[in-house]
Amino acid sequence: MMLSLIFLLAVSACVQPPLVQSPVSAHPVPEDPRWLIYEGGAGPGAGKHIVFVAADQEYRSEQSLPMLARTLSKLHGFHCTVLFSLNDEGLVDPTKKIRWEDEKISHLIPGLEHLGSADLLVFFSRLITLKEDQLQHIYDYLDSGKPLIGLRTANHGFIGFEYQVAGERVRFGDDVLGGSFRSHHGRWHQDSTRGILVQESRGHPVLVGVDDIWGPSDVYRTYEEGGSLPDGCTALVFGQPLMSRSHDDEPNPDLIPLPVAWVKNWTGAGGKPARVFHSTMGSAKDFESAGLRRLLFNACYWCLGMEDAIRADSSVQVLGEYVPLASGFNYPALGVLPHLPSFYR
């Protein structure tokens, strides 16, 4: 009897109970026809929530941001939400005018209240005018100490932005993101850009596994000629204007490379520092570049303090069909039409 008992105890000590994985948290944003949600799952980003805002009229963010959200949710585990600028009929409408064209114009982004549950905000707007209650959600986010990514026209993303810190008005482009659009460094909608990794920043986590960045958008100048990025900014990628709009074009010998991606910190009225990544590349066509997608995904990890989880071989695969329309304002020729948010899922 004693020997049998000893045998049973020995067997039970060797047989471990099966591992039970912690349940994946539910998506913090409810389903709603006014926005898109993508459930996260297993992966490094499990339990983290990224909110994307697509609100530009030129670079087809309404196509690129859902594509990026799909991959980050399905292959990296992040819960993702994509919010859009909608017109009065509830349609995503990149053709809607801005206040410079019609002084009565204002824009609406349903769901901004869900920035309260966001761990990271990825912002892509262009010269939009929001009402005060909508802006307050953005101001609150800037005060929260949570990280921020700005893409392309985000650095001139607003008309009428009254956020202040210590009584001083804050410029979203120059002060929060580290630079604002001042001019096209080259020929608008005629040049393309080759990304050049900054040698001194090669060890930065955002550049892990990144190579061959190219896109058909032109380089932005974000500071005066003879100047530089503001103190506190670390340049990661320079953009070399090319002679035309093909990947293998020669560099334009008359145009020097300028910064197109950098990192910095931002401290809002809440006094909590937040990580910031800004790329002046980012048209929907630019994001056909696997190198640019990897740069953006690495930036998401870094902004969230998850740089230890960045892998050079992590997937940046595009899931499903991705055939983005070209940039520009000639909407009929480009095939740009208002659609329901569900069209972009």
Q: How many CB atoms lie within 10 A of CB 329?
A: 12
Mean pLDDT (the chain) is 93
Task: Look up residue 158 and give its DSSP letter.
Answer: B
pLDDT in tens, 100-110: 999 999 999 99
Identify the domain containing residue 301 by its residue range.
Answer: 26-182+261-324+333-344
Residue type, 137: H
| 190: Cα separation from own chain's centroid | 24
In a domain, 222, yes or no: no
Token pair for residue 130? 């929001």
In a domain, 143, yes or no: yes
In a domain, 20, yes or no: no
Q: What is the mean pLDDT of residues 35-47?
A: 96
Predicted confidence band at 17 (pLDDT cuts at 50, 70, 90)? very low
- List the single range of 6-15, 117-126, 205-214, 241-250 with lowest mean pLDDT: 6-15
In a domain, 13, yes or no: no
Pairwise CA distance, residues 313 & 75, whole Å = 12
Q: What is the mean pLDDT of residues 218-242?
A: 97
pLDDT in tens, 176-216: 999 999 999 989 999 999 999 999 999 999 999 999 999 99
Work out how many domains the chain is built from and give that number. 1
Pairwise CA distance, residues 282 & 150, whole Å = 10
In a domain, 62, yes or no: yes
Positive or negative CA dihedral for 235, 278, 185, 288? positive
In a domain, 295, yes or no: yes
In a domain, 84, yes or no: yes
Token pair for residue 82? 């994509």
Phi, psi for residue 278 in degrees, rounded to 5: -130, 135
Q: What is the CATH number of the domain that holds 78?
A: 3.40.50
pLDDT in tens, 310-334: 999 999 999 999 999 999 999 999 9
Residue type, 211: D
Residue type, 43: G
In a domain, 132, yes or no: yes
Pairwise CA distance, residues 327 & 51, whole Å = 23
Q: In which element (H, E) is residue 302 found? A: helix 290-303
Q: In which element (H, E) is residue 139 found? A: helix 132-143
Given a cut of 50, is residue 19 above it in pLDDT?
no
Closest CA to 35 of 97, 78, 118, 91: 91
